[in-house]
Amino acid sequence: MADLTLETMSQEYYDVLKELGNIGAGNATTALAQMLQCKVDMSVPQVKLLEFKDVATLMGGEEQLMAGIYLGVEGDINGSIMFLLEQKSARHLVGKLMGMPIEGDKFTEIEISALQEVGNIITGSYLNSLSMMTNLKIYPTIPSLAMDMAAAILSVPAIEFGVIGDNILLIQTQFFDEIQLDGYFILIPELESYVKILSSLGISVG
């Protein structure tokens, strides 16, 4: 067990994440549609295991401006989660939420708090799904928002994954309303929590 790494992670864990991606993104879509009062569609989420250097490329380059929402999870499992969205998409979402387009490059305080709320709802949707699937108690800690270059934001989950390996595991989902929004969900359980997640689903960990 101590030698568990993402590279040797079972197919079952990918399936769990895929399912989590489906249900979580589904719930997030519903929540977004309610909040924005418009129709929101989503694509089938993809689970990807990537080397550190390739993650930022997937998101449009290391210097792509992203909004990242990061929070801890406590309860039956421990770890952290992150949700990333291109800043352009974040701007679009917040603009819709506030009922007006966002001008300029900088977000105002109220726009930041609106974005934080969007982040809460989306991450909450995923966490609820995980909790329902596994029947584990999962509590989020207070989320924190960063707007910066993709690579800089990703350094945080990369470092956490870095303790156990050289790859990062993420769920990519596309949301559509009038424009396409690429969202990236990263779940980083502590090593013991992987086992808890799997065994709660009746999957034995060898």
Q: φ and ψ at 195, to 5 degrees?
A: -65, -45
User: Is residue 151 involved in binding other proteins (CB under 8 A)?
Assistant: yes
- Helices 11-36, 87-98: crossing angle, 10 deg rounding: 40
Radius of gyration of the CA atoms of the chain, in A: 17
Judged by CB, which is closer to other proteins: 25, or 90?
90
Judged by CB, which is closer to other proteins: 148, or 177?
148
User: Is residue 152 involved in binding other proteins (CB under 8 A)?
Assistant: yes
Using the rule CB under 8 A, give the single segment among 21-29, 64-72, 108-116, 192-200 that binds other proteins: 64-72
Cα torsion angle, 137, 30, 108, 105, sign: positive
Using the rule CB under 8 A, give the single segment among 10-18, 30-38, 67-75, 124-132 that binds other proteins: 67-75
**Distance, CA of 105 to CA of 87 (rounded, Å):** 10
Among residues 119, 120, 126, the alpha carbon closest in space to that of 188 is found at 126
User: Is residue 166 involved in binding other proteins (CB under 8 A)?
Assistant: yes
Write out the residues near other proteins by the rule CB under 8 A: 2, 5, 52-53, 56, 61-63, 65, 68, 70-72, 78, 80, 105-106, 141-156, 158-160, 162-166, 190
